[in-house]
Amino acid sequence: QKEVEQDPGPLSVPEGAIVSLNCTYSNSAFQYFMWYRQYSRKGPELLMYTYSSGNKEDGRFTAQVDKSSKYISLFIRDSQPSDSATYLCAMSGGGGFKTIFGAGTRLFVKA
Amino acid sequence: DGGITQSPKYLFRKEGQNVTLSCEQNLNHDAMYWYRQDPGQGLRLIYYSQIVNDFQKGDIAEGYSVSREKKESFPLTVTSAQKNPTAFYLCATSGLAGDTQYFGPGTRLTVL
C-alpha cells in the first residue's frame, strides 16, 4: 500500500462547477498537508498549506484535513479554464525533511 | 527577483554521457532537494541536503550525484550509470522545519 493515494483522473468539469480533489494516507504521523498546482511542463506551485486537522480557505480554494479518517480534500469553487492543471497533494511529519507526494490528479475545466 | 532557478530548461544527453543540472536559490532556505517526475508516478526523491557540505540519499539515488558547496546552489549530476534518465527533474527548497517545499521550474532531460 502506498503512503499516499490520489486518483490520477483525468477529471473533466464544466466552467463554474465545484471541484473536489482528494487524497488518502496511511501514516498517522503526518502533521503538515499541502496542495500543489502544476501546469504542463512547469514546476509545482504551492497552493494551500494546512497544519493538522481543520479547514483553510483562500479565495475560491478550500483545503480540508480529517486526520481521524486520514483523508484530505481540496475544493475549488466557480472553477475556471485557467484551473486546468495537475493537482498534487503532499504531506509530511515536519522536521524530518521527508515529504510524500501523491501522484497527482489531472483536472480539465471546459469553457 | 526571489526564487529558485533551474538550468537548462531542456537538456539532451547521449548514451554514456554525464550531465549536470543546475539549481540556484535566493530564498535563504537551508534545505534543498532533487526530485524526478515521470508520468503517472508522482515525485520521487533523489537527494536532499539540509546544510552546506552535507547531503543524504533519497529513494532513487543510484546513478546520480550531488554537491552542496554553497547554501544557494545544489547541482545534480546524472551519470552514465543511470540507465533510464529521461524524465522531468525538479529542484525544491524549504526552511529548517522542512514542512513546506517550494519548487523551481524544472529541467526536462532526454536521452538520445
Q: What is the pLDDT of residues B93-104, one digit of tens each?
A: 998 766 789 999
pLDDT of residue A61: 98
CB-based contacts of B9, cutoff 8 Å, min separation 6: B105, B106, B107, B108
Contact A75, A59 (CB under 8 A): no
Query: How far from the centroid of its chain's Cα atoms is residue B20's Cα?
Result: 10
What digits encode the pLDDT tens for the residues A74-96?
999 999 999 999 999 999 886 66
DSSP string, chain B: --SEEEE-SEEEE-TT--EEEEEEE-S--SEEEEEEEETTTEEEEEEEEEETTEEEE-TT-TTEEE--SBTTB--EEE-TT-S---EEEEEEEE-TT----EE---EEEEE-
Chain A contact set for B99 (CB, 8 A): 31-32, 51, 92, 94-95, 99
Q: Say yes or no to pLDDT of B1 above 60.
A: no
Cβ of B42 and A104 within 8 Å?
yes
pLDDT of residue A78: 98
Residue A32, chain B, CB below 8 Å: the answer is yes
The percent of residues in chain B predicted with pLDDT above 90, rounded, is 77
pLDDT of residue B78: 96
Q: Taking chain A (111 residues) in consecutive chunks of 10 residues, what is each chunk's mean pLDDT?
A: 88 98 94 94 94 92 95 98 97 78 95 95
pLDDT of residue A73: 97
Query: How far from the centroid of its chain's Cα atoms is residue A16's Cα?
Result: 19
Using CB atoms within 10 Å of the CB of residue A76, give its burial: 0 to 12 exposed, 13 to 18 middle, 19+ buried.
buried
pLDDT-derived band at B83 (thresholds 50, 70, 90) equals: confident
Angle value at C-alpha A92, between B101 and A31, nearest 5 degrees = 120
User: Smallest CA–CA separation between A17 and chain B, in Å?
Assistant: 25
> What are residue A69's phi and psi, to 5 degrees?
-100, -5
Chain B contact set for A32 (CB, 8 A): 99-100
pLDDT-derived band at B110 (thresholds 50, 70, 90) equals: very high
Contact A48, A34 (CB under 8 A): yes
Cβ of A92 and B31 within 8 Å?
no
Residue of A nearest to B93 (CA): A97
Chain B contact set for A99 (CB, 8 A): 98-99, 101
Distance CA B66, CA B46 (A): 9
Residue from A86, A91, A33, A85 nearest A64 by CA? A33
What digits encode the pLDDT tens for the residues B22-81?
999 999 999 999 999 998 778 999 999 999 999 999 999 999 999 999 999 999 999 988
Cβ of B97 and A101 within 8 Å?
no
